[in-house]
Amino acid sequence: ERLGALLRAMPKAELHIHVEGSLEPELIFALAERNGVALPYPSVEALRAAYAFSNLQSFLDIYYAGASVLRTEQDFFDMAWAYLQRAAADGVVRAEIFFDPQTHTARGVPMGVVIEGLHRACVQAQSQLGVSAALILCFLRHLSEEDALQTLEAALPWRDRFIGVGLDSSELGHPPEKFARVFARAAELGLHRVAHAGEEGPPAYIWGALDALHVERIDHGVQAAQDAALLARLARDRVPLTVCPLSNVRLRVFPDLAQHNLRALLDAGLCVTIHSDDPAYFGGYLLDNYRLTFDALGLDAGHARLLAANSIDASFAAPTDKARWR
Ligand code: HPA
Ligand code: ZN
């Protein structure tokens, strides 16, 4: 109906998408065959049936297993290109795509293979889809800061191929302060900075991302609702929260979409945006996240325009592009 059509048509920015989380089971099997990699699942259906998660870690275990089929530059291109075509169909005009280089370099895949394959898909997205696409290099927080520092240095020959750094993987037990030096180094290099915080972790991790890492956006951040002073800080500084509703339900952060706090965060005056996180694993791409959340929370056309405009504002796109999309 009309709201559904509006949600698709509005120019939107996708700011919280892990490219490895866009790897559909069909492509996992195709790449496994192409590369001669053995998978511990007999079929696409058996793999998909394993996508029943009880928390973040239970998802991450299967997500890293899926990523193990990626070996060549063409594999990284194919994965990112499949995602970008789906994003374009959902009305995405700008995509800032997370990638996890340590997941690949630890298996012996060279940094250049990862970055060049993803970059080629971003370039083709602009020319063939009219989608502006950029890369954000994420550090795995379950690994050491020393490993993150070495990863950033190893990526510097491709410094112009990514716009920022992020922080993802297992949150609990790995507070932002652990990565203060590598984020300071990223700032020196002129890179944008974002971090996952307050997905499963406490409000203190969101404070830490702001004050120790000096991030420009918080990924997830839904646990901020527990801390009134933090809500006031996020509203005052207009720090965007990149919220991923279907992810939050699949990883049991909320029991169902109807109990998601997205509307409460908007009502508290925060710059909230909607994204897909790991769409191949969580049951939907960007437009599915919008439509299902709007249905469950009774949001209207005014919310639609606000959330889409927030996503453009919160992006790291050039001001001239932002003006065109608003
Ligand atoms: N949280 C943390 N790390 C991740 C996620 C997530 O939702 N998705 C992929 N890596
Ligand atoms: Zn995420």
Q: Is the pTM of this model over 0.90?
A: yes
Q: Phi/psi at 95 (nearest 5 deg)?
A: -130, 125
Atom of ligand 1 nearest to the CA of 100: 10
Q: How confident is the model at residue 53 (pLDDT cuts 50, 70, 90)?
A: very high
Q: What type of residue is 128?
A: Q
Expressed in angstroms and rounded, the spacing between residue 1 Cα and the centre of ligand 2 is: 30
For 184-204, how does the pLDDT look when each residue is reduced to its tens digit (9 = 90+)? 999 999 999 999 999 999 999
Q: How far apart are CA 130 and CA 168, in angstroms?
A: 29
For 246-289, how does the pLDDT look when each residue is reduced to its tens digit (9 = 90+)? 999 999 999 999 999 999 999 999 999 999 999 999 999 999 99
Expressed in angstroms and rounded, the spacing between residue 320 Cα and the centre of ligand 1 is: 31
Give residues with Cβ within 8 angstroms of 168, minimum separation 6. 18, 98, 100, 138, 139, 140, 141, 196, 219
DSSP 298: T
Expressed in angstroms and rounded, the spacing between residue 233 Cα and the centre of ligand 2 is: 22
- ipTM for this model: 0.96
The candidate with the shortest Cα–Cα distance to 203, out of 275, 296, 265, is 265
Binding site residues, as ranges?
Answer: 16, 18, 196, 277-278
Domain 2-314: CATH superfamily is: Metal-dependent hydrolases (3.20.20.140)
Q: How far apart are CA 37 and CA 40, in angstroms?
A: 10
**Is the Cβ–Cβ distance between 166 and 141 less than 8 Å?**
no
Residues flanking ligand 1, CB < 6 Å:
18, 21, 56, 63, 168-169, 196, 199, 247, 277-278
- The residue contributing the CA closest to ligand 1 atom 2 is 169
Q: Is 17 helix (H, G, I), strand (E, B) or coil?
A: strand
Expressed in angstroms and rounded, the spacing between residue 324 Cα and the centre of ligand 1 is: 31
Q: Is 272 helix (H, G, I), strand (E, B) or coil?
A: strand
- The residue contributing the CA closest to ligand 1 atom 7 is 277
Inform me whether the pLDDT recorded for 213 exceeds 90: yes
Atom of ligand 1 nearest to the CA of 247: 7
Q: Which ligand is nearest to the CA of 277?
A: 2
Inform me whether the pLDDT recorded for 1 exceeds 90: no
Q: Where are the domains of the chain?
A: 2-314
Q: How confident is the model at residue 156 (pLDDT cuts 50, 70, 90)?
A: very high
Residues annotated as catalytic are: 199
Inform me whether the pLDDT recorded for 319 exceeds 90: yes
Inform me whether the pLDDT recorded for 180 exceeds 90: yes
Atom of ligand 1 nearest to the CA of 21: 9
